[in-house]
């Protein structure tokens, strides 16, 4: 790389810092304080000097006019008119677009509109006279979220960084591979233990031979003479020497393995850290250019807008951002298209002349929340109802409630636009937003804002992010709940539980008032067996908040609050509406992350089925002799979760890593097995091969076997059943109660 390329790479970082700082000072993020015009002037001056250093005269010319304009503002102790501010924003947008289009040091043609707008502002006497404030303040800002300090895609560093494009699926694969590698390396402890045991046994044998040699020496000296004794002594000494050498070798290997394990653990931690850093990127990497894009669209439509962004520094899973990129931009364009009003209408309502559009990214209650809002005309309920009737989504009766009516806008092809332009009328509407959010396991909602405008909210489960988690236990299984969703920890007394219309409720004091809240029992909700050794009259519980509502969640124990990396939800588990991800606990034990919004929503639906079980030694489920189940799956996460589910139901569980491992264990007769639960896609011997081999042997011809896999094609199901599987369950539609019911029918 030549010197100019190095300078251009540094300039790409530096120019973004100056542009973002100027824009932030002029925009909504600095609305409560007067801009620091001296700092703005210095940044324009630095931008001009930096562009001259890398020989970008087009950028230098625009930066020079910005510097001149800001110098006048500083000299006259004034501000910018709306027209001058619009010229500045246009100039900043053009600089960003020009630098982004640099190829081999050469950029595209710089449009002349930026220079013309700045020249017009400099020539106008009113350029520095701020317009009077509107008679009524603008609509209140949205709920506070973590404001985004504008950041570069890559932070500046002492050296020049080389940026590479990495496919999102490759990053996700790397993250999963590091987890599997860590689990596999954990198995080396078994090797170390085996080496140590081998050394101890060799030493024991050497001592035994020494003892036996003394006895043999005495007997042979009397019976057969000294010659025979010498030969026996030589053989014994040779054997003893060999065993001692074996013991030393085993000890040396154990030491080497210990040193190697320490190095491997350190390297594994570094690899895992780098994989996590790759998987998490600031939201700005996907959404950072949206404000400029929206302003370009507004200029093309000759509309005035003010765009504010918050939370773009929030680290989010790269793959999730890629899925959300186009839907979020579509939602912003939709806000511009449907929120626009004639200037006279905005003046009459006391609104600022420019349409305000905001993009907010935040984490709330353990979920990622993306909001797009505007202070425009708000939802047109009459137009929505008319379009819905025309498409057969509504009958001729009365209109439904506003919430139900607004939910119709996410139907495929639903659009109320009356004309086709560059922003609307394309026939796809907001369904692209809803489809993308639902693919990620989230939900989307459209609602009017008070006093003016519309708000579109996307709520999604977090993925591949490190979050504070409250660890709880139910029936011996550990679960994680985002700590931000837990308002308070409680002790739930069964005497305080009452039944109201088929639901169990209790009273909790909140802000000085006693409020009745629904009570959920985590065991009952997940279909887990009660503890047989449970005593006492109280149980720990959590006051949960999600989706603007509350409930009380009863658990068996509260374990800890730790910061853990949230991975995608496992392929198996309970109701998918209750699970938002997976975390890896100490000792490489996986645990599912419970979704607070889903739990609170379930509290509004559940009746006695999810009420707390009776507390005390007589309120438990009777257990008979335990059956042994063999779980076969090459994924440590899947087999560990299956093991936890089955053990919580009272079964004894052994696990194998693939079909060959399971076949060898069954043939060895290590323990009697009453039923097998096997995956299909596994190395060495897959589930179909294991099934075929077992059915061919008389000893296992009638052994109940359940295949559970992600391969749910009709051909695969038919093949499994033809080979003799007793049941075939797919992970996509897995429900642990269905698995337990199937096992109960087969045993």
307/290 Cα distance (integer angstroms): 9
473/531 Cα distance (integer angstroms): 11
What are the domain boundaries of the chain? 1-132, 172-280, 465-610, 628-746
- Model-level pTM? 0.47
CATH number of 628-746: 3.40.50.2300
To the nearest 10 degrees (0 to 180), the angle between helices 57-76 and 82-100 is 150
| pLDDT for res 397 | 65
| pLDDT for res 188 | 57
CATH number of 465-610: 2.40.50.180
From residue 127, alpha-carbon distances to 88, 111, 240, 353, 396 in Å are 11, 22, 100, 17, 56
322/332 Cα distance (integer angstroms): 16
Which residue ranges of the chain lie beneath pLDDT 50? 1, 28-30, 131-165, 226-227, 420-427, 532-533, 607-611, 613-624
Q: Please say whether the beta carbons of 483 and 468 come within 8 A.
A: yes
Spatial CA neighbour of 286 closest among 240, 330, 326: 326
Domain 1-132 CATH (choose: 2.30.30.110, 3.40.50.300, 3.40.50.10540, 1.20.120.160): 1.20.120.160
As a dihedral over the C-alpha atoms of residue 586, residue 588, residue 592, residue 595, rounded to 10 degrees, the angle is 50
240/207 Cα distance (integer angstroms): 8
Phi, psi of 407 (to 5 degrees): -65, -20
Helices (H), 280-375: 284-287, 290-300, 318-339, 343-348
| pLDDT for res 149 | 37
| pLDDT for res 159 | 40
| pLDDT for res 33 | 65
DSSP β-bridge partners for residue 590: 584
Helix (H, G, I), strand (E, B) or coil at 566: strand
**DSSP string computed for 651-682:** -EEEEESSHHHHHHHHHHTSS--SEEEE-SS-
Helix (H, G, I), strand (E, B) or coil at 482: strand
Cβ neighbors of 155 (< 8 A, separation 6 or more) are: 13
Q: What is the largest CA-CA distance in the chain?
A: 129
| pLDDT for res 82 | 83
Adjacency order of strands within the sheet including 498-500: 486-493, 538-546, 549-554, 513-521, 503-510, 498-500
Where b means 16+ CB within 10 Å and e means fewer, 53-83 reads ebebebbbbbbbbbbbbbebbeeeeebbbee
What is the DSSP pairing of strand 675-678 with strand 628-632?
parallel
Where b means 16+ CB within 10 Å and e means fewer, 182-199 reads bbeeeeeeeebeebbebb
351/126 Cα distance (integer angstroms): 22
275/708 Cα distance (integer angstroms): 30
Q: Please say whether the beta carbons of 578 and 599 come within 8 A.
A: yes
Q: Please identify which residue in the block is written with the tokens 């700082």.
A: 21
Spatial CA neighbour of 717 closest among 731, 703, 704, 738: 731
| pLDDT for res 471 | 93
411/394 Cα distance (integer angstroms): 12
Cβ neighbors of 220 (< 8 A, separation 6 or more) are: 228, 229, 232
14/21 Cα distance (integer angstroms): 11
From residue 276, alpha-carbon distances to 154, 271, 357, 565, 588 in Å are 16, 9, 33, 8, 16
Q: Please say whether the beta carbons of 554 and 497 come within 8 A.
A: no
Helix (H, G, I), strand (E, B) or coil at 567: strand
């Amino acid at each position: 790389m030549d010197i100019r390329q190095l300078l251009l790479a540094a300039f790409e970082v530096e120019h973004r810092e100056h542009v973002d700082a100027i824009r932030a000072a002029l925009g909504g993020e600095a609305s409560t304080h007067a801009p620091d015009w001296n700092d703005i002037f210095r940044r324009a001056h630095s931008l001009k000097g930096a562009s001259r250093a890398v020989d970008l005269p087009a950028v230098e010319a625009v930066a020079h006019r910005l510097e001149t304009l800001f110098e006048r503002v500083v000299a006259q102790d004034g501000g910018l008119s709306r027209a001058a501010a619009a010229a500045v924003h246009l100039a900043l947008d053009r600089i960003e677009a020009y630098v982004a289009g640099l190829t081999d040091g050469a950029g595209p043609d710089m449009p002349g509109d930026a220079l013309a707008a700045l020249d017009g502002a400099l020539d106008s006497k009113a350029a520095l006279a701020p317009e009077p404030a509107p008679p009524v303040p603008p609509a209140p800002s949205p709920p506070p979220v973590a404001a985004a300090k504008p950041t570069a895609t890559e932070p500046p560093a002492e050296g020049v960084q080389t940026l590479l494009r990495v496919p999102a699926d490759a990053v996700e694969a790397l993250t999963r591979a590091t987890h599997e590698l860590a689990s596999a390396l954990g198995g080396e402890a078994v090797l170390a233990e085996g080496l140590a045991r081998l050394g101890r046994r060799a030493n024991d044998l050497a001592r035994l031979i020494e003892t036996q040699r003394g006895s043999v020496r005495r007997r042979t000296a009397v019976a057969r003479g000294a010659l025979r004794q010498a030969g026996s002594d030589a053989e014994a000494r040779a054997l003893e020497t060999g065993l001692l050498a074996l013991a030393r070798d085993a000890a040396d290997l154990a030491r080497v393995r210990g040193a190697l394990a320490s190095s491997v653990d350190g390297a594994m931690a570094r690899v895992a850290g780098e994989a996590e850093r790759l998987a998490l990127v600031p939201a700005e990497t996907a959404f950072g250019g949206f404000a400029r894009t929206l302003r370009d669209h507004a200029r093309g439509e000759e509309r005035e807008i003010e765009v504010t962004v918050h939370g773009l520094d929030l680290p989010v899973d790269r793959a999730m951002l890629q899925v959300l990129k186009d839907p979020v931009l579509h939602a912003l364009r939709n806000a511009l298209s449907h929120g626009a009003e004639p200037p006279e209408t905005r003046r009459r309502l006391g609104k600022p002349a420019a349409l305000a559009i905001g993009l907010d990214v935040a984490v709330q209650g353990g979920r990622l929340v993306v909001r797009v809002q505007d202070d425009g005309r708000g939802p047109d309920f009459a137009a929505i109802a008319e379009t819905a009737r025309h498409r057969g989504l509504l009958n001729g009766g009365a209109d439904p409630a506003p919430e139900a009516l607004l939910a119709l806008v996410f139907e495929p092809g639903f659009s109320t636009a009356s004309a086709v332009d560059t922003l609307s009328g394309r026939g796809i509407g907001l369904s692209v937003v809803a489809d993308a959010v639902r693919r990620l396991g989230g939900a989307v909602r459209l609602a009017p804002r008070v006093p003016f405008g519309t708000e579109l909210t996307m709520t999604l489960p977090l993925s591949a992010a490190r979050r504070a988690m409250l660890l709880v236990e139910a029936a011996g299984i550990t679960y994680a709940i985002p700590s931000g969703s837990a308002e308070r920890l409680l002790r739930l007394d069964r005497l305080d539980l009452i039944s109201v219309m088929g639901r169990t409720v209790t009273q909790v004091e909140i802000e000085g008032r006693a409020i009745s809240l629904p009570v959920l029992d985590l065991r009952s909700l997940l279909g887990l067996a009660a503890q047989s050794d449970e005593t006492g009259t109280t149980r720990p519980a959590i006051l949960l908040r999600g989706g603007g509502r509350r409930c009380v969640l009863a658990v068996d124990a509260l374990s800890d609050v730790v910061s853990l990396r949230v991975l995608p939800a496992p392929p198996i588990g309970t109701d998918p509406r209750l699970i938002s991800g997976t975390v890896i606990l100490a000792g490489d034990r996986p645990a599912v992350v419970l979704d607070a919004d889903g739990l609170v929503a379930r509290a509004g639906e559940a009746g006695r089925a999810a009420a707390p079980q009776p507390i005390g030694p007589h309120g438990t489920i009777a257990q008979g002799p335990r059956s042994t189940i063999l779980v076969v799956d090459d994924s440590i996460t899947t087999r560990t979760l299956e093991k936890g589910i089955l053990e919580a139901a009272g079964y004894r569980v052994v696990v194998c890593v693939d079909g060959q491992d399971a076949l060898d264990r069954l043939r060895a007769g290590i323990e009697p097995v009453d039923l097998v639960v096997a995956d299909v896609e596994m190395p060495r011997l897959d589930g179909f091969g294991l099934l075929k081999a077992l059915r061919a042997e008389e000893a296992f011809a009638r052994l109940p076997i359940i295949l559970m896999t992600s391969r749910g094609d009709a051909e695969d199901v038919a093949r499994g059943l033809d080979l003799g599987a007793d049941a075939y369950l797919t992970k996509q539609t897995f429900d642990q109660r269905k698995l337990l019911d199937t096992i109960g029918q087969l045993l």
